[in-house]
Structure 1
Amino acid sequence: MPQQQTRNPEPGGQLDWWATAPLPAPGAGQVPVPAPVAPTEFVPGPAAEFVPVPGRQFVPGPEPVPATDSSIEVYRAVQRSAAFQRIRHSYRTFVFPVSGVFLAWYLFYVAAQAAAPALMRRPVAGPVNVAWLLGLLQFATTFLLAWLYARNARTKRDRAALSLRWDTQDQLR
């Protein structure tokens, strides 16, 4: 494990744990490509570290396949399909109204702070005043909307989107 830096580096210097080989000046040749690294495994414990896995070698993954005209046409056909349009419609009919309501609720809170400070200072219970209560309700509303979005996605869109995804991948094979 690298040692922690105990002093500031000189001006223009690098910290120990960030130190890398300097890049050559432009036009001084190509930057060398680092050699492949052996796969490592995390070993938990007091001296937690990554150690090489014996008997395994680094195998680079496959090169990315460039998109062909046929795959582009498959995705365009999916985008024009009725199933995809239903999924997008379901998404939009939930997200846009809910976002608008939440934005209006937030702007109401900000406007109330600016326009009615006396009302916002009115105590509700002990040291909690109207401003604190509305501020805490902003957090509650955020969590409620996140839960509603996840439930809406799970019940109305996820199954249809997964089916469309499998159909698309079958067409690409």
Structure 2
Amino acid sequence: MKKFYIGTFIVILCAAIAIAIYAFTEKGRYSKEFAHNLFEYPLPPHTQVLEKHYFYGYSFGHLLGSGGYMPVVANMRLSTSLSEEEILSYYKNTPLFPYPNSNNKGVELELYLPKEQILHKTTDGFYYSGKGDSTRRITSYKGSKASSYSEKKNQQYILQISSSFDYIFRLDR
């Protein structure tokens, strides 16, 4: 009978450890999967990735209005010889990206051109916005003309997606 109790205790302990590991790594997994959607999106010709990052944490709550959900941001700094007009033309029909930990799509691509990108650093990482702390989703460029700055070669621009997700245990509050 004593062996039964010891065996049962070991099984319960192993299950508790497995659940704890899953719960504490869940936010990182969901965020990495979300970022992967952006990182694997095909680039236009004559464009290369300079940096790619993803972050999650409550310090992005003001960006997304987290409402208890975990905010996540993924971005890439790209270098290209394309003009602003060519960049906008390439991305104008970009499909919606899936929400974190979901097959439902609804996350719109954000694009920040050289003269309108503002870097915001937080305790959990950083994100970009446009002038006036605005989010520059790709649809916000529809009908707008590229600036005269657009013919500059080897310019850099930012692609970004941001959203939030629910997770099992909210033990970090």
**Smaller-chain TM-score bracket:** under 0.3
Name the TM-score, length of structure 2 as normaliser: 0.25
Name the TM-score, length of structure 1 as normaliser: 0.25
When Rg is computed on C-alpha atoms for both structures, the one with the higher figure is 1
